[in-house]
Structure 1
């Protein structure tokens, strides 16, 4: 029977979870985010660069892109091997079962296979990370078995599970190398199993941008004896990554056209009845297609009409 890792649900955790759920709904509404292969590739490269840079590999997005495209790049054998391992490990994101320990072993073997002879198996040596002395090697198997049992059986929300697991994994530090990369990968695996849209998020690159806070959150959780500070930190990182993706992918306009924009179109037409669709689109910072849809709505409302052709005619406003 598995024991529950210690954590406390704070008001900050509840607030962040709610905001993430709201952002998730917005992203799900935007079908483009699910099918856009260019955006997927772009954010996967950001993810790879982010998780590697945290560990001191600075080949960067440009060289990772080149490696993905089958090109040779300048770098040490170890740097290139780390990139190759990360690419292969993340390529199988959809295939891993988040609650299967054997899949974690497989991911570690794929990630570290070119640079670590013990890849895919637990460490047999003592390790210390900063001030933290990880559990003895003889304890690792039981601790990880117990953690995966909790992961499989807990009724906790998957969003929180992913953060709790990430911290507990780093605390145990089960492998001799690659723990940071695997911990971040496995949080993505858990989130992806909850909702595939999470695989689009470049969360690892956001963590990279807040690297000192990342380590501090781990340290604070260890001092406190529970993962609460780390959960709060990671939820903030997930939220930021969702907001970044939302900014990169225009959200589909709801069926109800914003009233303010319709009124602004009327104001602009009153000022210049010869104004073009392109000019309206530029002034209102929307697409031509959006302006055409807005004008159709105004015509339905009997507020606007076109006299003559689009090329030589002009707009008329109904005042009745």
Structure 2
């Protein structure tokens, strides 16, 4: 008998798919035009920060960037190890096949290296999904885990559902089974991104998990509602709404540098650093901007990038009366 997952296709889900597909097309054109390597890097770091924060990791985007660059970070060793593992996972992201169970186990081995004893192996005991001190869900019996995972991958290989739906259903069912002793949330979110990236490469670095973290209570609530209804439609709707919001944010902040009133030198900077304007929607310190641009020489950065953007009005100071203040930050002053 064909493995059937408890899912009802709702009108809201169909509307979300239409909206997401339209936004994916628009954003793909923009990012391809801009060749936004820096933007993809920032999004990847935001994804890692969001996913780990859901699990209690306290490292900031700036600290994760420092780990990526091999700089020392003052933080609990376990949290630094989690970041290093996540960075290693994304280095291999494009090599994994979302339909391959062996790749799932390999990803878990890398993601949880130095954090758990059972690496790349399914759990040997019972486990529960927790939200704080509250039990959200009791996982499947341990003796059923291998069979359930095989059935889930079989469903994924044969389903006719749109990848947006299939990835969300897989994510929920993976969390329902909870196959590993630890790392299930990270693995479920990673595997959904992997499924979506095979549909459209844009999803490889779309920071969906940042918004999931911002709506963490709703995330667990959607899991609980789906479990109570024996129907994962609430979770699918939640995840698709998060994807829709993420795409809306990306479209809002992806710069288009064709304004005729922009000096040529500034246009060149924005084309070379296509994610800079989006990054500066939040005020940033000089060191953050310099690290984002990948420039090691502080004077070169100040003279050839920061100063022209300030003079052209693309960036403004948070403390204009104290330009040399150590608390000085810079933000984007132009619409995008």
Per the alignment, residue 182 of structure 1 pairs with 187
* Inter-partner Cα distance in structure 1 for 2:2 and 2:28: 34
Q: 2:147 aligns with which of 142, 147, 162?
A: 142
Aligned to 2:108: 108
Is the contact between residue 47 and residue 205 of structure 2 (CA under 8 Å) also seen in structure 1? no
Structure 2 equivalent of residue 294 of structure 1: none
Query: Alpha carbons of 1:34 and 1:149: their partners in 2 closer, same or farther (altered >3 Å)?
Result: farther
**Kept in 2: contact 1:164–1:231 (CA 8 A):** yes
- Corresponding position of 2:42: 42
Give yes or no for the alignment of 1:51 onto 2:56.
no
Give per-residue Cα distances to partners, 1:40-69, cap 9 Å, x unaligned.
Answer: 111011000000000000111111000000
| 2:161 corresponds to 1:156 | yes
For 2:82, the equivalent position in structure 1 comes to 82
The alpha carbon displacement at 1:37 in A equals 1.1
CA distance in 2, matches of 1:78, 1:188: 24
- For structure 2, list consecutive stretches of 5 or more residues without a partner in the other structure: 130-134, 268-336
Match of 2:217 among 187, 212, 218: 212
**Equivalent residue number for residue 65 of structure 2:** 65
Larger deviation, residues 242-251 vs 156-165: 242-251
Contact 1:27–1:246 under 8 Å retained in 2: yes
Q: Is the 8 A contact 1:122 1:174 kept in 2?
A: yes
Kindly indicate whether the alpha-carbon contact (under 8 Å) linking 1:29 and 1:252 is maintained by their aligned counterparts in 2: no
Q: Report the counterpart of residue 198 of structure 1 in structure 2.
A: 203
Contact kept? 1:30, 1:252, Cα under 8 Å: no
CA–CA distance in structure 2, aligned partners of residues 33 and 111 of structure 1: 33
SS in 2 for 1:94: helix
The separation in 2 between residues aligned to 1:217 and 1:251, in whole angstroms, is 36
Could you say what secondary structure the match of 1:122 adopts? coil
TM-superposed CA distance for 1:171, in Å, is 0.3
2: CA distance, partners of 1:31 / 1:60: 25
Counterpart-to-counterpart distance in 2, 1:169 and 1:162:
10
Q: Whole-Å Cα distance in 2 between the matches of residues 150 and 26 of structure 1?
A: 31
2:255 is matched with: 250
Q: Compared with structure 1, are the counterparts of its residues 68 and 33 closer, same or farther at alpha carbon in structure 2 (3 Å cutoff)? A: farther
State the shift of 1:131 in Å.
4.0
Identify the residue that residue 229 of structure 1 maps to in structure 2: 234
**Distance in 1 (alpha carbons) for counterparts of 2:2 and 2:34:** 36
Q: Deviations over 1:154-177 (max 9, x none)?
A: 111111011000000000000000
Q: Is the 8 A contact 2:63 2:73 kept in 1?
A: yes
Query: 1:199 Cα deviation (Å)?
Result: 1.6
Structure-1 separation of matches of 2:136 and 2:249:
34
Structure 2: how far apart are the matches of 1:13 and 1:19? Answer: 10
Q: Distance in 1 between matches of 2:159 and 2:34?
A: 29
TM normalised by structure 1 equals 0.77
1:44/1:202 contact within 8 Å kept = yes
Once the two structures are superposed, the pairs formed by residues 165-180 of structure 1 within 5 Å of their partners are: 165-180=170-185
Deviations 1:175-205 (A, max 9, x none): 0000000000000000001110112310011
Partner secondary structure for residue 30 of structure 1? helix
Seen in structure 2, the aligned counterparts of structure 1 residues 131 and 43 have a Cα distance that, compared at 3 Å, is closer
- For 2:117, what is the secondary structure of its paired residue? coil
CA distance in 1: counterparts of 2:159 and 2:147, whole angstroms: 18
SS at match of 1:240: helix
**Aligned counterparts of 2:175 and 2:227: Cα–Cα separation in 1:** 10
Bigger shift: residues 61-70 or 127-136: 127-136
Which residue in the other structure is 1:26 paired with? 26
Gaps of 5+ in 1: 254-260, 262-276, 288-320
Q: Which has the larger radius of gyration?
A: 1
